[in-house]
A = this chain, B = another copy of it.
Amino acid sequence: MKAIERRTIREYTSEPISEKTLKYILSCGQRASNCGNMQLYSIIVTQTQEGKQRLAPLHFNQPMVENSAVVLTICVDTNRFNKWCETNNASKSLNNYLFLNVATIDAAICTQAMAQAAEEKGLGVCYLGTVNYMVEDISKALNLPDGVIPVTCLTIGYPKQIPPMTERLPLEAVVHYEEYKDYTTANIKAMYKDIENNPTNQDFVKENNMENLAQVFTQVRYPKEMNENFSKKYEDYLKEHFFEK
């Protein structure tokens, strides 16, 4: 798949990924840029059916988990670096908000480099954002120590079929030249027109008895109260298992 035409692949054949290909994917992830070459991430590879079955309910039983060839869970990892500091009589300095952010960004960069390496080899991938909702349970399932926080998850396998490309906003909706030009109501209406007119999206509106697509997003798919509950769970987990006490 060319990068400019890529699609998320949610259905995979039963063909496994060779050890060589998996190593190539992981190595491309590690080769991507990272802050100060500190490599503040870890990648958990789930390949056994047992392991995938344990993860599946933590990803709300999305079928990609059990049907993929491999599941990668990419985590912020200050534990390894801190242990290196301990053995070198160096003080720990990373378990704060700044480095949670820095290492989260690095973990995502590493993940996308792996996604593209997989796609280059004819594989398809799907990101699972459920990780961010289920940090505590996923950490337990993968035996993550303090200082290690799951960031995102990638399911990988050979595509059963190539679905159509999903729509995007016009490029000029997400790009600003020299400085941010804020949007007028007319801009917004013009930019979202194609997405709103997409038949699948119009079906979502009807199925959910909403007036429009924006309401499907904020009242059905990502309602405020749910988001705030998951926010609190995430913050509580960080206080207990990441930030310095």
Copy total for this chain = 2
Most buried by B among A48, A79, A98, A218: A98
Let me know if B212 and A88 touch, CB within 8 A.
yes
Q: Given A92-B224, A109-B112, A227-B99, A38 and B180 touching (CB < 8 A)?
A: no
- Chain B proximity mask over A72-116: 1 for CB below 8 Å, otherwise 0: 000001011101110111111110111101101100110111011
Residues of A within 8 A of B (CB): 3-6, 8, 23-24, 26-28, 30-33, 35-39, 41-48, 51, 77, 79-81, 83-85, 87-94, 96-99, 101-102, 104-105, 108-109, 111-113, 115-117, 120, 125-127, 129, 132-133, 142-145, 148, 151-152, 165-169, 171, 173-180, 182-183, 185, 188-189, 191-192, 195, 211-215, 217-219, 221-224, 227-228, 230-231, 234-235
